[in-house]
Structure 1
Amino acid sequence: MVQRDTDTPDLLSALDDGLLTLTLNRPDARNAMSDPMLEAMERELAFAEGSSEVRCVVLRGNGHAFCAGGDVKAMGDGPPPPSAMNDRIAYQRAIQRATSGRLVAMAKPTLAVVNGPAAGAGLALALACDLRIMARPAFLLTAFATVGLSGDFGVGYLLTRLVGGARAREMMFLPDRISSDRALDIGLTNWVCEAEHLDAHAERIARRLAAGPPKALGYMKDHLNKALSTDFDTYMEHEVACHLDCSRTADHLEGVMAFAEKRAPLFTGR
């Protein structure tokens, strides 16, 4: 395992055999976001997107929370002065695209390991990942209405696509806790397990993702994203081109040979 230097204690990064694990590391503040944390996440996700060493990204929180979202204590300092508001808007847009946006768009699978509360923008980060696993005591919470905010980091977009418009409105307007079992029932998480088994279960899932055929998984993710915004015929045109591109790879040949030889395939990304 290689510990990567993130230039801040607020985010830890470790690369181990294709898995890049990013750990939100402000446990005393329930891993509430800070500018240094988000800027480090931007850099690490850019590295993950461009590096053949990274085949899966895992996002998790240190301590007893996943992420509380924005730092409510810091919000007490008030908004930036009007003269600085445009700069702050530009910064926020850029950092959201580079974090939530990159988690959604990057051609690599991502997994959120939700060990505890995921609230506000922290919920958005979890939803931006492709897959989620929750510890049974964990819960989800939009929280924005509680503090008079409308939502950021793509939360409304992501909720609408995962649970539909009516339920997304309910969750945003009436910010009640969503238990892990309820999250599983309505499609906000893929797995729920006891807290003591979370790390082992998440590790197994992440290793399976990292062992998959990188080009094929990247195309699959792109197809699934496009399915939300394009017509069926356009989707199929894109799908068949990618499918046939995969057929020319060494990984496809390896998969066929492994099937014939009744063994597990060893995909290399070629």
Structure 2
Amino acid sequence: MGHRNTGTPDLLSAMDEGVLTLTLNRPEARNAMSDPMLEAMDRELAFAESSSEVRCVVLQGNGRAFCAGGDVKAMGESPLTPSALDDRVEYQRAIQRATSGRLVAMGKPSLAVINGPAAGAGLALALACDLRIMARPAFLLTAFANVALSGDFGVGYLLARLVGMARAKEMMFLPERVPSERALDLGLTNWVCEAEELEAQAALIAKRLAAGPPQALAYMKAHLNSALSAEFGAYMDHEVRCHIDCSQTADHLEGVRAFAEKRAPVFSAR
């Protein structure tokens, strides 16, 4: 596994056989977000987006939590002046697009590995990933209403698309811990496993994602991202173009040959 220099101890990054693993690394603060952590995530996700070496992104937390969201202890220490407030709005708009926004939009699959609490903006980061696996003791929590905040990092948008409007409003207005099994029932996680099995199970899923046909997966993700807003005819027209494009790739030919030869395909992003 090749470790990458992120420029901060708040985020660790490592590459292994096409899987870029990003580890939120403030365990003493339950991996609450810091500006250096988010700025490093911006850089690492930009690398993942542009590099043909990266086939899958894994997001996880070090210690006993996934991510507690914003650093509540640091909130309210010094009220912002009007000019500083405007600067903070612009900064956060940019950093949200570079993190949650990039996880949603990038043409690479992503997996959130939720070992413990995912709360507030930490929940949003987990929901911005394409897939989620939770340890059985872990839980999800919106938390924003508890500190009189409305929510950030795309949390309402992502919740509404995963669980529907009524459930999303319930979770935002009336924050309650969502245990892993309830999260599975609601469609907020794809898998639940025992805590001691989480690392191994996540690695198997990430390995499968990294072994998939990159162009086809990128098109699939783009199609699914637009599925709730696109007009059906326009959706199908674009779908056909992408499908035919894929049919001309070396990866498609490899898949057909592997099927005929009754073996697993080996895709290579061509």
Moved over 4 A (4+): none
Partner of 2:157: 157
| TM-fit CA distance, 1:76 | 3.4
- Could you tell me how far apart the structure 2 residues matched to 1:106 and 1:195 are? 29
For 1:8, what is the secondary structure of its paired residue? Answer: coil
Partner of 1:96: 96
With structure 1 as the length reference, what TM-score do the two structures score?
A: 0.99
Partner of 2:29: 29
For 1:45, what is the secondary structure of its paired residue? Answer: helix
Asked if 1:38 is matched to 2:38, the reply is yes
Partner of 1:177: 177
Asked if 1:52 is matched to 2:52, the reply is yes
- Could you tell me how far apart the structure 1 residues matched to 2:156 and 2:78 are? 24
Partner of 1:85: 85
- Could you tell me how far apart the structure 1 residues matched to 2:80 and 2:213 are? 46
Q: Which residue identity is paired with 1:58?
A: V
Asked if 1:251 is matched to 2:263, the reply is no
Between 221-230 and 31-40, report the one with greater CA deviation. Answer: 221-230
Task: Specify whether residues 190 and 92 from structure 1 end up closer, same or farther in structure 2 by C-alpha distance, changes over 3 A only.
Answer: same
Task: Specify whether residues 88 and 204 from structure 1 end up closer, same or farther in structure 2 by C-alpha distance, changes over 3 A only.
Answer: same
| TM-fit CA distance, 1:209 | 0.2
For 2:108, what is the secondary structure of its paired residue? Answer: coil
Partner of 2:234: 234
Please, which runs of 5 or more residues in structure 1 have no aligned partner?
A: none
Please, which runs of 5 or more residues in structure 2 have no aligned partner?
A: none
- Could you tell me how far apart the structure 2 residues matched to 1:179 and 1:41 are? 27
Asked if 1:63 is matched to 2:48, the reply is no
- Could you tell me how far apart the structure 1 residues matched to 2:50 and 2:257 are? 29
- Could you tell me how far apart the structure 2 residues matched to 1:78 and 1:52 are? 44
Q: What is the identity percentage for the equivalent residue pairs of Structure 1 and Structure 2?
A: 80
- Could you tell me how far apart the structure 1 residues matched to 2:171 and 2:15 are? 35
- Could you tell me how far apart the structure 2 residues matched to 1:197 and 1:68 are? 22
For 2:99, what is the secondary structure of its paired residue? Answer: helix
- Could you tell me how far apart the structure 2 residues matched to 1:76 and 1:23 are? 27
With structure 2 as the length reference, what TM-score do the two structures score?
A: 0.99
Q: Which residue identity is paired with 2:51?
A: S
Q: Which residue identity is paired with 1:256?
A: V
Q: For residues 202-253 of structure 1, what are the alpha-carbon distances to aligned partners after superposition, in whole Å with 9 as ceiling and x for unaligned?
A: 0000000000000000000000001021110010011000000000000000
Q: For residues 154-207 of structure 1, what are the alpha-carbon distances to aligned partners after superposition, in whole Å with 9 as ceiling and x for unaligned?
A: 000000000000000000000000000000001000000000000000000000
Q: Compute the RMSD of aligned alpha carbons.
A: 0.5
Partner of 1:10: 10
Partner of 2:262: 262
For 1:101, what is the secondary structure of its paired residue? Answer: helix
Task: Specify whether residues 230 and 58 from structure 1 end up closer, same or farther in structure 2 by C-alpha distance, changes over 3 A only.
Answer: same
For 1:14, what is the secondary structure of its paired residue? Answer: strand
- Could you tell me how far apart the structure 2 residues matched to 1:158 and 1:79 are? 29
Q: Which residue identity is paired with 2:155?
A: V
| TM-fit CA distance, 1:77 | 1.1
| TM-fit CA distance, 1:79 | 3.6
| TM-fit CA distance, 1:80 | 2.0
Partner of 1:206: 206
- Could you tell me how far apart the structure 2 residues matched to 1:200 and 1:209 are? 14
Partner of 1:125: 125
Asked if 1:136 is matched to 2:136, the reply is yes
For 1:32, what is the secondary structure of its paired residue? Answer: coil
